[in-house]
């Protein structure tokens, strides 16, 4: 297992923000993960780090990255079994090759299977729990399994956000489909993403959760905040729900801009937007 000490976390984040951290572990199997948990009092687990903002100053915490080193995917009938480090795009493409539909919406979501389940990631309506059958996790040094029904899912939420358990894999179930039709749906969704989202810039995707009876991006746009900028961080002119790193933004730039957007929206509309991204302090 590779271990890096006192290194920058920035290259491993989708926002391209963050400073040096105590150490980063790259486990290759569940035994490695359990070994890290036994060694460290506190470990922050990340995949693509597509929904996390980490401080620029030295952060005296241990990180564990479950990504390429922990990303096997296999087929089992109409089921797909994936390790938590597999990307959601890889899961979508595996389903395509396996003639299984229902996974198309995952293709353009930046992040891993573990992160997707942790956040109950979704796009254009469907969420990852829709195609989920069961999850394997580590609790108190042992592997445990949960059916979907045993997990509390809601908008951008799962019970893994509060129970301290680490997702190591999952089983998904799809429906048999026509490969050309599946690919056409993927291409359509990705075309819409390219047209409407600022994919050319580092970002954490949608910053705020969808409020009741509305869309965060629409509300932010109606408040005239597209293009609002602090330092190198900017509210995207293409999609107001995204805060992008346009010029080597700092942690403080990003966090300050998130707070400013929240405060202006609250003042103008009375709506208190809740962040979807996680901000480490």
pLDDT, tens digit, for every residue of 255-278?
Answer: 999 999 999 999 999 999 999 999
Tokens 């000490």 belong to residue: 5
Shared domain for 77 and 180, answered yes or no, is yes
pLDDT of residue 147: 98
Instruction: Give the pLDDT confidence score for residue 213 in this predicted structure.
Output: 79
**Last residue of one domain, picked from the residues 169, 195, 221:** 195
Alpha-carbon gap, residue 57 to 99, rounded angstroms: 47
Q: How confident is the model at residue 69 (pLDDT cuts 50, 70, 90)?
A: confident
Q: What is the pTM of this model?
A: 0.90
The residue among 26, 43, 65 that closes a domain is 65
- Give the catalytic positions in this structure: 156, 206, 276
| Structural domain span for residue 234 | 198-279
Cα–Cα separations (whole angstroms), residue 182 to 93, 104, 187: 10, 7, 9
pLDDT of residue 177 exceeding 90? yes
Quick one: what percent of the chain has pLDDT higher than 70? Answer: 100
**191 and 78 in one domain?**
yes
Note the pLDDT of residue 212: 86
- Looking at the structure of the chain, the number of domains it has is 3
pLDDT in tens, 29-65: 999 999 999 999 899 999 989 899 999 999 999 999 9
Top-confidence residue, 160 or 50:
160
Please check whether residues 131 and 120 belong to one and the same domain. Answer: yes
């Amino acid at each position: 297992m590779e271990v890096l000490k006192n290194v920058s976390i920035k290259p491993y984040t989708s926002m391209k923000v963050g400073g040096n951290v105590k150490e980063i572990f790259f486990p290759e199997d569940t035994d490695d993960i359990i070994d890290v948990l036994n060694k460290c009092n506190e470990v922050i687990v990340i995949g693509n780090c597509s929904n996390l903002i980490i401080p620029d100053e030295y952060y005296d915490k241990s990180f564990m990255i479950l990504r390429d080193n922990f990303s096997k995917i296999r087929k089992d009938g109409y089921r797909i079994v994936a390790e938590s480090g597999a990307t959601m795009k890889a899961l979508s493409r595996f389903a395509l090759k396996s003639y299984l539909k229902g996974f198309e919406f995952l293709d353009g979501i930046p992040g891993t299977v573990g992160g997707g389940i942790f956040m109950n990631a979704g796009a254009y309506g469907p969420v990852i729990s829709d195609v989920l059958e069961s999850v394997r996790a580590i609790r108190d040094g042992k592997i445990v399994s949960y059916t979907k029904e045993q997990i509390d899912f809601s908008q951008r939420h799962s019970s893994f956000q509060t129970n301290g358990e680490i997702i190591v894999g999952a089983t998904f179930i799809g429906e048999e489909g026509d490969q050309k039709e599946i690919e056409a749906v993927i291409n359509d969704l990705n075309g819409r993403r390219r047209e409407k989202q600022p994919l050319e810039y580092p970002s954490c995707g949608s910053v705020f959760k969808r409020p009741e009876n509305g869309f965060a991006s629409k509300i932010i746009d109606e408040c005239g905040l597209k293009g609002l900028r602090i330092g190198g961080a900017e509210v995207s002119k293409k999609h107001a729900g995204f805060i992008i790193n346009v010029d080597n933004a700092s942690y403080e730039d990003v966090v300050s801009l998130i707070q400013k957007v929240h405060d202006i929206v609250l003042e103008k509309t009375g709506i208190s937007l809740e962040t979807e991204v996680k901000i480490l302090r």
